Amino acid sequence: MDQVQPQDILNESRFNMQAKYGDSVLIVPVIWPSLNLPMPLGYFGDRKRAHRAGEALRHIWEEIGDVCLRRRQLPSKRFHLYSHSMGSWVLYNFAKSINVPRPPLKIKPNQTQHCPRFSCIFLVAANAPTELFQKDSPSMKQAGGNITSIADKVVVVYSRKDNVLSFVDRVPFLMGNQDLGFRGPGDKASLPRNVIAVDTAQITGEMHHFHTPNLNSKFVAYVKSCFSIKPEEMKARNHQQNKQQQAEVSASSSVSGGNRSVGGDCSIPGSPESEADRSVGRSMRSPTSVTR
């Protein structure tokens, strides 16, 4: 049997994702060491490795910031970060270890910005604390606040039909409350202004595997639409679609006595997108969930 090399996984992931996202987005896949064992055998070992990977990511982030400060210049491109599954635990530990705020750069006479900064951070099927973005929670104080400070928008995508995270949800005494991607972020009214939460089915409709929506065409369209929309507009759109979904399910139940899940394409037709967009991705055991 041929031995699979990290560069083979990276290249395959980039080509798969790049084909979906097109030329307007440059995919930069990132892989971190894991045991690559089925649940639950490799779970705890991988979480330890994810902790160290988060600290390594902090060093890269700080080096980029140091270059910006030395040059007194912000990057000319927009960066987005996509974390999937246990990759969100990498993100959590990265955020937990960074110092915010860093020295700001003056970009206009009366405007400063901290560098580096992400346009969008995505947490998809996140194996991370459920209270990560809840006000005054320990996780918010340790990491969630830092994540919201270094991004214009934070998008949490979750699903109660995620059969991988449902296992984590069933054994909290072993796994802890690490099922943000299953339960969602809690009370949406108390989320920070720039945090948006959306159910996967609301984007894609019914799927076979809700844990890995990364290559679904409707999901890709939704992610790309997030690059240029304001947080308040995203929240309003999600709220409207939630009401429509509930109304359609209610109507279906009253007519047929059954239930059905209604999903829709949440992309914004014709939404502007710069060819300068960039993103960095993180995945659980392979970088196939990288977007930007």
Percentage of the chain beyond pLDDT 70 is 71
Greatest alpha-carbon span in the chain: 66
H-type alpha helices, the chain: 6-21, 43-71, 87-97, 138-139, 145-149, 165-170, 172-175, 180-183, 200-204, 217-226, 231-256
pLDDT at 133 over 80: yes
The pLDDT, as a whole number, for residue 257 is 46
Instruction: Look up residue 80 and give its amino acid.
Output: H
Average pLDDT over residues 144-168: 91
Give the residue from 31, 23, 77 showing the smallest Cα distance to 53: 31
pLDDT at 29 over 90: no
Residue 49 has pLDDT above 80, yes or no: yes
pLDDT grade for 245, boundaries at 50, 70 and 90 = low
Question: Model's pTM, two decimal places?
Answer: 0.78
The full length of the chain comes to 292
Q: What is the pLDDT of residues 185-225, one digit of tens each?
A: 988 888 898 999 999 999 999 988 899 898 899 999 999 99
- Residue whose C-alpha is closest to residue 85's, from 249, 252, 285, 272: 285
